[in-house]
């Protein structure tokens, strides 16, 4: 299935009604996958420094 045929069939439809193959939702590159993994890593670091489990 090509991107062109998907776009052609999607004209005039609501976005949530358009079926998309899973591979179109996959990250584009290794760097994008890596940044998605590290997006909230600062929160884990912050929680690790807090001694009180209730505050974590």
Per-residue pLDDT tens over the stretch 1-30: 677 777 777 777 776 677 766 666 666 777
pLDDT score recorded for residue 48: 92
Q: What is the pLDDT of residue 1?
A: 61
What is the tally of structural domains in the chain?
1
Report yes or no on 56 lying in a domain: no
Residue 54 within any structural domain of the chain: no
Q: What is the mean pLDDT of residues 30-54?
A: 87
- Look up the domain containing 23 and give its range: 3-49
- Token pair of 8, please? 């052609």
Residue 36 lies in a domain: yes
Nearest-angstrom CA–CA distance, 8 and 36: 30
* The residue to which tokens 């940044």 are assigned: 35
Instruction: Answer whether residue 50 shows pLDDT above 90.
Output: yes
pLDDT of residue 49: 94
- Judge whether 55 lies within some domain: no
Is residue 40, in this structure, part of any structural domain at all? yes
Is the sign of the CA dihedral 5, 11, 17, 22 positive or negative? positive
Q: Residue 14 falls within a domain, yes or no?
A: yes
Q: What is the pTM of this model?
A: 0.39
């Amino acid at each position: 299935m090509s991107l062109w045929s998907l776009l052609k069939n999607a004209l005039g439809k609501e976005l949530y009604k358009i079926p998309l193959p899973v591979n179109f939702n996959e990250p584009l590159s290794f760097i994008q996958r890596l940044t998605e993994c590290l997006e909230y890593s600062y929160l884990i670091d912050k929680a690790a420094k807090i001694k009180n489990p209730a505050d974590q």
